Amino acid sequence: MLKMKFNDLNKQYQAYRPEIDAAIQSVIESASFIHGKEIELLEEELAAFAGVKHALACSSGTDALLLSLMTLDLQPGDEVICPAFSFIASASMVSFCKARPVFVDVSPIDFNIDITKIEAKITPRTKGIIAVSLFGQCADFEAINQIAKSHGLWVIEDGAQSFGATYHGQRSCSMTDIATTSFFPAKPLGCYGDGGAIFANNDEWAAKLKMLRSHGQEQRYQHKLIGINGRMDTLQAAILRVKLKYFEKEIKNRQQAATLYSNLLKGQVLLPEVADGRESSWAQFTVMIENRDLVREKLAEKGIPTTVHYPIILPKQEAFRDDVLSDERFEVAELLSETVLSLPIHGFITEEEIKLVCHELIELLEDQPQRREDAEKVLNLAPLRLRGENRK
């Protein structure tokens, strides 16, 4: 049976193996496993890549969010606007700070937070907006920043899946008060463990972030703040520096893969859309399909791995049961949770692999002659109507 990988990290390692092995060996020989020189070098390179003044490497994308909220002095009882359809990290860090995540439904075009529904959720307790740039595509930050400014709010971009993407020529993680990303191994730019980064242009916030990630230390054993151990290991920084050299090439490969997927699957399933003025880094290639779980099972039998991001929307997670009103509805998020299916994509996927995935998927759908019409009806995602509603 075919053994395809959803994200072939081994193939990537083999491509860069001499450089990665040398980078790891260099750190081992230096014995500078914490605060080694690779950390500062990586931070300089990340800041230059994103186009910001400060980049701070840290222990994970989740800790990046937590450190950002601590820097912005989020307090118990405060509220933060969050998308209803996303990974739990952003909203859970709001709760971790004893504040309340306020969920907003997502756009049926790009699956990011629906800008037309944000203001209705703002109250006197709202302090900021966390906009997740989902599946590799930036949220609509021009509109989000405008809303935030009119209400005196800060904005954080959770760019865990979008590092490398652009929005009207600007890089993800460069457009908000503070931005974060993740270097979890499966991300477009991933390390060999957990890792993350925080991006900011504010000197004062950058200094505070640096203290908070190292137990609040201003100098060794002089603790100005209560912080956490949020440092990145030097080994991970060394690995990321190698991968960052080839990152733009891998993004282009992902974009070419997404284009081929879209061409081959057009008219067969509902495809992801990239809004005007944006370029996706394609952390995922996620289609919408009826009978999702059955299709996924059948593809697995043929050796084709898929995954579901995300089967339970955040407002329905037990962890947030006290944060959601009983009559709140998140129609698009709920429909997506029932129908999205992510197909294999990475910087080294081949044309042959993509064609095989598409062939097997289309073959499975051949017994459903009305599949596209039915899917549009079920999803309520008639593209022309929704494009008009969401891009006014």
Place of tokens 């579901």: 308
Kind of pairing between the strands at 217-219 and 222-223: antiparallel
Neighbouring residues of 342: CB distance < 8 A, sequence distance ≥ 6: 6, 135, 284, 285, 286, 287, 306, 307, 308, 309
Question: DSSP assignment, residue 135?
Answer: G
Cα separation, 170 vs 154, in Å, equals 19
What does the alpha-carbon distance between residue 11 and residue 272 come to, in Å, rounded to a whole number? 26
d(CA 74, CA 60): 20
Ramachandran area for residue 136 (φ above 0: left; ψ -120 to 50: alpha; else beta)? left
Residues ≥6 apart with Cβ < 8 Å to 103: 82, 83, 84, 91, 121, 314, 315, 320, 323, 324, 328, 330
| CA nearest neighbour of 250 among 317, 346, 184, 121 | 346
Residues classed as catalytic: 187
Residues 233, 167: contact at Cβ < 8 Å? no
Token pair in block for residue 17: 């193996």
Distance, CA of 230 to CA of 210 (rounded, Å): 9
